[in-house]
Amino acid sequence: MALVELERDRVAEEVKSRAETGESPIQILEECRRGMTIVGERFQKGDYFLAELMLSGEIFKGAMAILEPYLAKVGPSKPLGKVVLATLQGDIHDLGKNIVAIMLKAQGFEVHDLGVDVAPGLVVEKVRETAPDFVGFSVLITTAFDSMKQAAAMLREAGLREQFKLMIGGGVTTTVVKDHVGADFQTTDATEGVAYCLDVMRGG
Amino acid sequence: MKLQKIDFEPIGRRGECPAGQSLLEAAHQLGVELVSLCGGKGTCHRCKVQVLAGRVSPPTENEKGTLSPQELKNGYRLACETYPLGDCKLSVPPESLTAPQRTQVEGLEVAVSPEPPVRAYHFELPPPSIEDMRADAKRVLETLYQQHRVRCCTIDLEVLRSLSPQLRSGNWQAQASIRGDEIIAIRPWPSRQLGLAVDVGTTKIAGYLLDLDSGQTLAAQGIMNPQIASGEDVISRITYIGKSSSAAARLQRLVIKALNQLVVDLCAEAEAKTKEILEIVVVGNTAMHHLLLRLPVAQLALSPFLPAVSKALDIKARDLGLRIAPGAYVHLLPNIAGFVGADHVAMLLATEVWQTGGVTLALDIGTNTEVALVSDGEIASVSCASGPAFEGAHIKDGMRAAPGAIERLRLVDDAIEYQTIGGAPPVGLCGSGILDAISQLHLAGVLDASGRMGDHPRVRTVGEQREFVLVSEEEREGWGEQEKRPAITITQNDVRELQLAKGAIRSGIQVLLDAAGHAVPEIEQVIIAGAFGSYIDVDSAITIGMLPRLPLCRFRQVGNAAGMGAKLALISQRQRVEAQRIANRVRYIELTTAPNFTQTFINATYIGYHESG
């Protein structure tokens, strides 16, 4: 598959010609998503690295842009689910979060990325506004754990905590941190996080 | 067979050992050179280790007989009689090691005429009488003004406590050591004045004993920073402090104890007395600086990463528990930001980069790599989170630079040629060896630019993971090792770890170049400071795209420049003023806020990455 091999031009050409010949855009999109899943697996195994992952995200975005008019004709598409992502106050590292965002978008999630050094209050606002299925906190520095705990507490106080699954991710997180924060899921691996979201949406 | 993770600190060698092995056997399997004169019979009592964490077998009767109740209480055990019952973390006291760990103390020498902050003056007092009833202290102060025109207003309390008997026994003659307007020591004339310059690193501490008046270095030594048992890097140490109210005091005690030991060792080497040391200059990263003073550190590791204090400080050495001359001061050079500390200032001071006309890059490579770009009279600095990969951490067969570490490596046809520290049998790879390995594998086409490991006769797959065999099981037997030992390999994950580390450094360099509007070929000089930096093969570092592609003649590996800067500040007041000026002038750039940083970083992870040249 061209997407898996990261052949940008070929993906664009193929998607374009197949859509033009009347092939179902939903089917083409599904195929691209499968490609992204395989890229994710390769990343997990160490065969692919950051650059390949980011590139695949861009290629996927390009394919989506081509497919959009065709998808619009088929009817309004509903996102698979909604996710709010943030790197919380005290931490400014966002590479891991960006990777998760790319992979979630590729799987059909609507992603609201709040960026870095985000005040917990902002998360509460965004959750109230978008009613997401998932909230994900990315963390690189251990000293920012308390921001996650604080945000989780504020979401509980606002009575919003039961409406979504809380995920935390980053190389320094552990199950102990998960319990400390009161999250539903923890991972050090972006692909696992995406798999979790898919599982939950499928009722798993 | 059940495997247990055994971690030997502070040398940082760890690995999995089969259950049922004693700690001594585990140490030897992992290449930790524990002393064992009796060969593990429990009779020489030399293989003492301290159990920091994890469960081990209860003390034997023999151990109860040889170790004091205090030692047993603190977890000290004989490694040959102790069996781990799960994962363990141990501390190896220096006296239990056969070979000295390699720590770096040499550095470049810059000629500076001494202009010490502490000056010695000889004085001769008119003896008191019923006609001259001035107090002893007043007599000293007035005489110093009469005989030398130096105006002092205070005398250190400890000096006052011994002043009167000393003047009388010295026949009203003595030498005053004056710092600013304070007398910090009074001793017989003539006494030499010594000073100590220290670079407190996250991993290592380098100390230099100098004669303050001649500027000559009398002794130099490197030791491990004992705080390492509470976290390898700055962040984990800060996290450790957050865990309990006594942790900060404990870490401070550890480093002070190490400094006092360093003082004793350096004095022994130079045949000096610790009381002869009248001044200490300390440099270090901002976290080490704060930990030494027990300043709050939590904010250092949280955006926007602010130090509690940044300007230079003068503190009585005794207030920190440092055992030198009772009236002596510790001078701490200024720092710049949470992750750019006084060691960076000292490095800039020693390398004199701010005085050069052209574009100069200066970097100190470590767990945190500070990079400065000097151009058009401006200095901009960044801190790169290069991580502990160069110290051998997170690398399957990684280790710190200690005997048996592969430090140089070449791939010749399909064979590996390598050199180990001390010529010892290979036990793992240190940073320079890892760098060489990645570079050689890339040149041989085993690693492509993305870092993916391809095929080669020495590449195999273990579990899901590809690895390149550097020293096979059989090749290790060639060293006359009796038992079968696992191969030393570079795994696909190791390559990824190194890509992250070198990508961090290379992207830092790129951000500085972009901010200053310069391209790589314009860099006239690259100064590589730090212990690790002086052992690396620059060519390998260029090959993997960690350092910019420039002619080798533009690189200068200067060793511990931070230590050198500390020495300069120790013997010269003018250099202290200069250090403060440098600190004021440096523009700190927070990397992650640089435009397009993510893309810059990702590009920089490519092996062989070279932007514009």
On the question of pLDDT at B504 being above 90, the answer is: yes
Task: Please give the structure tokens belonging to residue A8.
Answer: 């940008």
Total residues found in chain B within this entry: 613
- Three-class secondary structure of residue B427 per DSSP: coil
What pLDDT score does B100 carry? 45
The β-bridge partners of B207 are B198, B221
On the question of pLDDT at B102 being above 60, the answer is: no
Task: Please give the structure tokens belonging to residue A15.
Answer: 């998607």
Please provide the DSSP assignment of B250-295 as one string: HHHHHHHHHHHHHHHHHHHHHT--GGGEEEEEEEE-HHHHHHHHT-
Q: Using CA atoms, how far apart are residues A162 and A182, in angstroms rounded to an integer?
A: 12
- Supply the DSSP symbol for B59: P
B275-327 per-position pLDDT tens digit? 999 999 999 999 999 999 999 999 998 989 999 999 999 999 999 999 999 99
On the question of pLDDT at B479 being above 80, the answer is: no
Tell me which of 2.40.180.10, 3.40.50.2300, 3.10.20.30, 2.40.50.100 is the CATH number of domain B3-96: 3.10.20.30
Higher pLDDT, A44 or B507: B507
On the question of pLDDT at B108 being above 60, the answer is: no
In degrees, to the nearest 5, what angle opens at C-alpha A138 toward C-alphas B301 and B450? 95
Cα dihedral sign for B559, B560, B562, B568? Answer: negative
Q: Using CA atoms, how far apart are residues B560 and B271, in angstroms rounded to an integer?
A: 24
Distances (CA, A) of A142 to A48, A154, B237, B242, B294: 27, 20, 10, 10, 20
Segment B42-52 mean pLDDT: 82
On whether any CB of chain B is under 8 Å from the CB of A78, the answer is no
Chain A residues lying within 8 Å of B241, measured CB to CB: none
Q: What's the CATH class of domain B195-332? A: alpha beta
Chain A residues lying within 8 Å of B236, measured CB to CB: 142
Can B195-332 and B344-387+500-604 be said to share one CATH topology?
Answer: yes
Higher pLDDT, B453 or A77: B453
On whether any CB of chain B is under 8 Å from the CB of A90, the answer is yes
What pLDDT score does B435 carry? 95
Chain B residues lying within 8 Å of A94, measured CB to CB: 592, 598
Mean pLDDT over the full length of chain B: 90
Q: Using CA atoms, how far apart are residues A48 and A46, in angstroms rounded to an integer?
A: 5
Over chain A (204 residues), the average pLDDT of each successive run of 10 is 92 95 93 93 91 92 93 86 95 90 93 95 97 95 88 96 96 90 94 94 84
Q: Using CA atoms, how far apart are residues B259 and B281, in angstroms rounded to an integer?
A: 12
What pLDDT score does B483 carry? 72
Contact B302 A90 (CB under 8 A): yes
Cα dihedral sign for B602, B604, B608, B609? Answer: positive
B344-387+500-604: CATH superfamily = ATPase, nucleotide binding domain (3.30.420.40)
Higher pLDDT, A187 or B593: A187
Chain B residues lying within 8 Å of A142, measured CB to CB: 235-236, 239, 301
Q: Give the nearest partner residue to A142 out of B236, B493, B598, using CB atoms.
A: B236
Q: Give the nearest partner residue to A50 out of B492, B590, B605, using CB atoms.
A: B605
Chain A residues lying within 8 Å of B590, measured CB to CB: 92
On the question of pLDDT at B103 being above 80, the answer is: no
Q: Give the nearest partner residue to A143 out of B302, B601, B603, using CB atoms.
A: B302
Q: Give the nearest partner residue to A143 out of B235, B492, B592, using CB atoms.
A: B235
Burial (CB < 10 A; 0-12, 13-18, 19+), residue A44, is: middle
Sheet holding B118-124, edge to edge: B118-124, B173-179, B182-187, B154-155
B203-217 per-position pLDDT tens digit? 889 999 999 998 899
User: Packing angle between helix B561-571 and helix B573-585, nearest 10 degrees?
Assistant: 130
Contact A46 B499 (CB under 8 A): no
In degrees, to the nearest 5, what angle opens at C-alpha B383 toward C-alphas B380 and B386? 145
Domains along chain A with CATH numbers: 8-74 (1.10.1240), 81-201 (3.40.50.280)
Q: Using CA atoms, how far apart are residues B583 and B573, in angstroms rounded to an integer?
A: 16
Q: Using CA atoms, how far apart are residues B380 and B378, in angstroms rounded to an integer?
A: 7
B48-100 per-position pLDDT tens digit? 899 999 999 999 988 988 888 888 988 999 998 999 999 999 988 766 776 44
Query: Who contacts A119 (Cβ-Cβ below 8 Å, separation ≥6)?
Result: A89
What pLDDT score does A204 carry? 66
Alpha helices, H only, B105-212? 136-148, 157-169
On whether any CB of chain B is under 8 Å from the CB of A119, the answer is no
- Looking at CATH, the fold of the domain delimited by B118-187 is given as Ubiquitin-like (UB roll) (3.10.20)
On whether any CB of chain B is under 8 Å from the CB of A92, the answer is yes
Query: Shortest Cα distance from B592 to chain A (angstroms)?
Result: 7
Assess: ipTM above 0.90. no
- Three-class secondary structure of residue A82 per DSSP: strand
Return the domain boundaries, chain B.
3-96, 118-187, 195-332, 344-387+500-604, 389-498
Task: Please give the structure tokens belonging to residue B96.
Answer: 């239990």
Nearest chain B residue to A139 by CA distance is B302
Chain A residues lying within 8 Å of B596, measured CB to CB: none
Mutate to test the interface with B, among A4, A100, A143 (most CBs of B within 10 A): A143
On the question of pLDDT at B613 being above 50, the answer is: no
Query: Who contacts B117 (Cβ-Cβ below 8 Å, separation ≥6)?
Result: B179, B180, B279, B331, B573, B576
The β-bridge partners of B491 are B467
Task: Please give the structure tokens belonging to residue B281.
Answer: 């200059």
Contact A48 B450 (CB under 8 A): yes
Task: Please give the structure tokens belonging to residue B316.
Answer: 């009585």
